Structure 1
């Protein structure tokens, strides 16, 4: 095991993690969201979506136009957690090793040494991920699914917690690559920020007349708190009727689209619903939690051959599939 592995092995770090009480975990999420709002104006729902992905052990895809605060949102979350933050600017000439790391020959020791790439962080921002070719995008597949990277046959664990926040530019389609379906399916959620309202933008401009708020932002939690909150989420009860409801919803999307929600997507929805329950201070999931989370967890996974998009299929599933 390399030095970076010893510092970032999730199994080592999580071996003695005890869950937070549900009310303390709920307070933690509120505290983090409030802190991020010191930097980000008018996007409370987006902040909560990122925290859901984080505590559900997942990742988030942000699709929007440039300049709406995607990078700053990711930095503010990482800073609030007192966690490490790395950013990768995806470009057409970016190589997979630029993302995951590379083995370099040390002339002094006459041995190869692993130099970790930017994925070795608690929060990784993959900026404009769809500007890189599929081979480079695929470099994220293993680490997003298994929290590890393999270089020259050797496996290296990334830090715990680890979350990818990827952005994609949707205004220059001729200069971008479509994300592979397998990669899209690994994102727990996909959201858009959108432009701020007039009042929100006015407040934002007032905050930025001097030093940027991110420069004075202080942590309100640490990565240990996140690991304990994740443990809390994993203990949230999901009863059989709720699990069956998720299965019926998934079946509906598969019957009404070329590509419906995958089993991985169903698992992601259950985990996101567990986090939502914790947000509400409950130790059990209700159908309301599932209905709240389904649009952002499933819409990007559902593909159709018609003018009806995935979001519409998910919306119809929620309307037509009964809660029993």
Structure 2
């Protein structure tokens, strides 16, 4: 893959962003971050209130990516086997075992959407964790591989009854945790409320070009981006200081209201997490037409890539929704950029 191929793919990526922004109003940042995750070959966890457009965003992405698409609903009675196969009675009255959501498209599965993942049991999370980590599962005495797979999940942050929070190991497998909120501009609110095209999700996403990307080439492209986009020594030092601040925020003068920051962090971001930060920053630089990472690229993806990876002390873990993102934002404010 040469430089002209990279530029052609960048134009496709920007076209993808433009098409999706037409169908999900007020989500420019969420669209950009989702695009970054797609080309960094990372999985995405969307978090937001009910009805803000998380599913619409993912349906638009799935349409543009092409390949196989499957969706499953998280429920308290969902079992790991429900992702792999299901049974039904055939016309002859005999039970039949049919491929489930993960196996329907085989190795051509490119987008797997897990809706309301926090309603599913830990056993289901465990299967999903292996799928995300190894891009494979075992079933029917054989190994099934998914070389082009991106996992997208969303979490309902409003309802807490009959839900199971994701363990730290599962959170760390998501490249990004992206907050999706309803727009606040009156014109956008008016369009969402009164324009009929926003009332039918299936028809709304039709203008998004189908199969705009070739999912079988995304891995090759992602590897090329990581080799092409460089990082200066000054940028590398800045990245290390950001990492240190996730481990010892008090040493960098970080404060949060009603929180003893010196006793807040159990473990900072993992090495894998910080490597993923750099992967995302390189893709962001590529989308902006740069061949080197600048501080703004790290800052653009830092909160969504790092906040969910910081392990808090047990006394604060129950308040993660209130603390983790502000902590990451304060790190960006307090650590001097080159």
Matched residue SS, 1:32: helix
Tell me what 1:192 maps to: 179
Task: Using structure 2 for the length normalisation, give the TM-score.
Answer: 0.80
Tell me what 1:14 maps to: none
Contact 2:70/2:101 (<8 A) preserved: no
Kindly state the Cα deviation for residue 37 of structure 1 after the two structures are TM-superposed: 2.3
Tell me what 1:212 maps to: 203
Instruction: Determine the C-alpha separation between the residues in 1 that align with 2:41 and 2:221.
Output: 11
Q: 1:154 to 1:225 in 2, by over 3 A?
A: closer
Tell me what 1:316 maps to: 330
Contact 1:19/1:232 (<8 A) preserved: no
Contact 1:87/1:118 (<8 A) preserved: no
Q: 1:75 to 1:322 in 2, by over 3 A?
A: same
* Mean Cα deviation higher: 43-52 or 117-126: 117-126
Please list the CA deviations of residues 30-88 of structure 1 after superposition, one character each: whole Å capped at 9, or x if unmatched.
Answer: 10011112322221211111111111110111111221111111111111122321101
1:177-256 equivalences under 5 Å are 177-197=164-184, 198-204=186-192, 205-206=194-195, 207-208=197-198, 212-219=203-210, 220-224=212-216, 226-235=218-227, 236-256=229-249
Q: 1:291 to 1:37 in 2, by over 3 A?
A: closer
Tell me what 1:79 maps to: 63
Q: Decide which of 78, 86, 110 is 1:122's aligned counterpart.
A: 110
Kindly state the Cα deviation for residue 163 of structure 1 after the two structures are TM-superposed: 1.1
* Structure 2 residues not aligned, in runs of 5+: 88-96, 250-264
Please list the CA deviations of residues 137-165 of structure 1 after superposition, one character each: whole Å capped at 9, or x if unmatched.
Answer: 111111112222233663221141x2111
Instruction: Determine the C-alpha separation between the residues in 1 that align with 2:134 and 2:217.
Output: 21
| RMSD across aligned positions (CA) | 2.8
Instruction: Determine the C-alpha separation between the residues in 1 that align with 2:296 and 2:65.
Output: 28
Instruction: Determine the C-alpha separation between the residues in 1 that align with 2:335 and 2:7.
Output: 32
Instruction: Determine the C-alpha separation between the residues in 2 that align with 1:243 and 1:102.
Output: 49
Give the total of aligned pairs. 300
Task: Using structure 1 for the length normalisation, give the TM-score.
Answer: 0.83
Kindly state the Cα deviation for residue 101 of structure 1 after the two structures are TM-superposed: 5.0
Contact 1:19/1:229 (<8 A) preserved: no
Kindly state the Cα deviation for residue 246 of structure 1 after the two structures are TM-superposed: 1.9
1:102-117 equivalences under 5 Å are 115=99, 117=101
Tell me what 1:165 maps to: 152
Kindly state the Cα deviation for residue 21 of structure 1 after the two structures are TM-superposed: 4.2
Contact 2:111/2:151 (<8 A) preserved: yes
Contact 2:183/2:189 (<8 A) preserved: yes
